[in-house]
Each structure stands twice: as structure tokens, then as C-alpha cells.
Amino acid sequence: MTDHRSDNPEICLIFPCYNEEEVLPDLLRTLETLDLGIPTRFLFIDDGSHDHTPNLLKEACAADKRMACLSFSRNFGHQVAVSAGLKHACGDIVAVLDADLQDPPELLQSFIAKWRNGYDVVYGVRTNRKESWFLRICYSSFYRLLDRISNIKIPRDAGDFALMDRKVVDVINTLPEHNRFVRGLRGWVGFKQVGVKYARPARYAGKPSYNMRRLTALALDGLLSFSAAPLRVSAWLGAGAAFLGFCYLVYALSLFVSGKDLPEGWTSTIVLILFLGGVQLMVLGILGEYLGRIFDEVKGRPHYVLRDQTGWLTEVDEELSPSDKTAT
Ligand code: UDP
Ligand code: MG
């Protein structure tokens, strides 16, 4: 397979932004002076922000022709924003970064060096986390669990911060799923991948929009989209409960045969009902999670709706094929 890797590639940095007015001025200042040694473009995805983010981005796009912005009609979520960015990004290399400066853009220098050495995906691996100990335990258990039960290799402690070769981005763009867990899709694609360790700083300003509910939803997307193991767990749980029930039956029968009085029965009945009921509900819940995801997929709705686009996107739009213009 021939590699299209050019000596002077162009890179496109994607930033999903949701209510980032507090951090945007600093981010834009950092980007203005950022020198990666190769032609660089920036693509912001305004994920339905309701603060001054859209205006700030529009001004930035008007002032700097390397910048462009896609605006969603409402908030569609971080993973969808990243996917939209990948769809509209140009260039030979595409990088995904958080807008809150938690993924230092300067680090891309070393990512690009790895790309030049032949790697197609270079992702950041967090060596430290500035989150609370509780969140840190949650993150680390999640990555370890995912690693154990998923069908594909999803690197531990790697987020969406990554640089990808054009061919990887093109493959990700063809993946149709709605429940998008981008770092999982990135792992699924394959090719040559490598992690680069970095100490993740705390959010520069503003508040994180990932609360416990959204983090749980993301974790479920990751676990259920890349593994059927939970379905198997439910079958094992069911089998375990049935086995316990059977043991109890044997015990009761042996008491009956040896002529001993059977226990009163009330407590054991309640315990069994609660236990079996709990297991059944849990299994149904797991089935429901998968079913809900299948339902999302079969509806076949677009992943996002665009309100407008500014900056270089309007210039390169004519060069894109018609299929690229439709939101997917
Ligand atoms: N973000 C987004 N849509 C959302 C939530 C977040 O585009 O619905 C963006 C946000 O602006 C930031 C990135 O996704 O650039 C990561 O979000 P956040 O900092 O809240 O997450 P954390 O760093 O805590 O994982
Ligand atoms: Mg953040």
C-alpha cells in the first residue's frame, strides 16, 4: 500500500466547544501564536452553546482565515461534535483537542514527529489526572473494565486527544453508528497506533460540562458499543440465581425426606423473590440498554443538524463531494 505522506502536510485542529466563553479568548490567543512547523487550520464546532461562544468564534473566523466554525442547531454532545469535526476537517492530518486547554496544542509537535515516523494514530495518554479521587477511581476502573471486556483494543487512559492520518479519518467517517464513542472507533480502525504520555492539566477556565450523568452515559456507550460481555454477564447472573434456587430446593427436599420440620418459609420466600426479581430486572435493564441503542440506529436520523458554518469551510465547501455536505 502506498503512503501518501507528504513532506509538507497540512494539519487541521478540531475543537468541540460547548459554552466555552470563559476559556475561548485564551485558547484563541494560544492558537494565533501556535507554530507546528506545517500549515495549520482550525475547526471549531459550536455544540449549541448558549453563551457568547458562537459570537467569539465568528469574530475569530472573520479575523483569521485559518479558522472555521460549524454551528449545531442545538447541543448534540461532545462525541457528536468531534464526529462532525472529523467529517468536515481538511488536510493530511487531523487532531482532536478539548477547547479548555486540557490538551496542550504544543504537544502536537511531538505527535507530528511520530506521524512522520510512520504512525497513523498518535493519542495522548494521561499520566496524572487533576480530577477528584472519586472520579479518578471511576475513570481508572472504567478503562480497565473496558479493556477486559471489549472486542477491540481501546488504550487505557487515552481520551479523544489524538492526531490521525487522513486515511484513518476517512474510515471513521464511513462508520454509521449514532452512539459514537470516538476513541473506541479510533481503536477499531486499526493501522499503526501509538500513545504519548502527558500530564493533563486542570481545565483552564469555566466549568466542565461532563457531569456524573453524562460521564455515565459515555461510559455505557463505550462498554455496550464495543462489547457483548454485559449480555453474557446477565446470562451468568440468571444461571447463578437459578442455581441458588435449585440448591435451596435440594435443601428443602432433604429436610422433607429426613422427616424434619420444614422452616417457616416466609423469610426464605421473600429473599428468593427479591433476589430473583432483582436479577431479572437487571437482565432486562441490560437488554433494554442494547435495545435502546438498536432503536437509535434503526431510526437513521442524522447525527446532528447544522445551523451555519463560517470561515474557510465556506470556501472549501465547493470542493467537497455532495455526500460530504449532508450531515450524517
Ligand atoms: N463539549 C461539547 N459538547 C458537550 C460537552 C462538552 O462540545 O455537550 C466540549 C467542551 O467544550 C470541551 C470538550 O467537549 O471542549 C470536553 O468537555 P469538558 O471539558 O466538559 O470534559 P472533561 O474535560 O471534563 O472530560
Ligand atoms: Mg475538559
Ligand 1, atom nearest to 45 Cα: 7
How remote is the CA of residue 103 from the centroid of ligand 1, in Å? 12
Q: What is residue 222's DSSP assignment?
A: H
How far lies 147's CA from each of 124, 187, 222, 254, 290, in Å? 17, 11, 11, 45, 19
Proximal ligand: closest to the CA of 159: 1
Ligand 1, atom nearest to 16 Cα: 7
Contacts of 297 (CB under 8 A, 6+ apart): 176, 177, 178, 179
Query: Where would I find the beta strands (DSSP E) of 129-175?
Result: 158-165
Which residue in this structure is represented by grid cell 454509521?
A: 176
Which residue in this structure is represented by grid cell 494565533?
A: 32
Residue 191 φ/ψ region, left for φ over 0, alpha for ψ in the -120 to 50 degree band, beta for the rest: left
Ligand 1, atom nearest to 81 Cα: 7
Tell me the best of 70, 143, 210 to mutate to test the pocket of ligand 1, counting ligand atoms within 8 Å of each CB and taking the most: 210
Instruction: Return the pLDDT at 328.
Output: 46
- Shortest CA distance to 109 belongs to which of 181, 42, 163? 163
Listed range (3-7, 183-187, 290-294) with the worst mean pLDDT:
3-7
Instruction: Return the pLDDT at 317.
Output: 52
In the three-class reduction of DSSP (H, G, I as helix; E, B as strand; rest coil), residue 306 is classed as strand
pTM confidence score = 0.73
- Average pLDDT (126-130) is 74
Asked if 71 and 307 count as a contact pair (C-beta separation under 8 A), the reply is yes
How remote is the CA of residue 93 from the centroid of ligand 2, in Å? 23
One-letter amino acid identity for 275?
A: F
How far does CA 168 lie from the centroid of its chain?
A: 16
Residue 95 pLDDT greater than 50, yes or no: yes
Ligand 1 pocket, residue 100 CB under 6 Å: yes
Tell me the best of 14, 15, 18 to mutate to test the pocket of ligand 1, counting ligand atoms within 8 Å of each CB and taking the most: 18
Contacts of 7 (CB under 8 A, 6+ apart): none
How far does CA 9 lie from the centroid of its chain?
A: 27
- Shortest CA distance to 220 belongs to which of 180, 267, 189, 259? 180
Asked if 91 and 20 count as a contact pair (C-beta separation under 8 A), the reply is no
Tell me the best of 43, 72, 74, 209 to mutate to test the pocket of ligand 1, counting ligand atoms within 8 Å of each CB and taking the most: 209
* pLDDT tens digits, one per residue of 155-180: 777 889 999 999 999 999 999 888 88
Residue 81 pLDDT greater than 70, yes or no: yes
Instruction: Return the pLDDT at 326.
Output: 43
CA dihedral 124→128→133→136, nearest 10 degrees, is 20
In the chain, pLDDT over 70 holds for what percent of residues?
91
Query: Where would I find the beta strands (DSSP E) of the chain?
Result: 11-17, 40-46, 67-72, 93-96, 121-128, 158-165, 193-199, 306-311
Ligand 1, atom nearest to 99 Cα: 15
Ligand 1 pocket, residue 77 CB under 6 Å: yes
Ligand 1 pocket, residue 40 CB under 6 Å: no
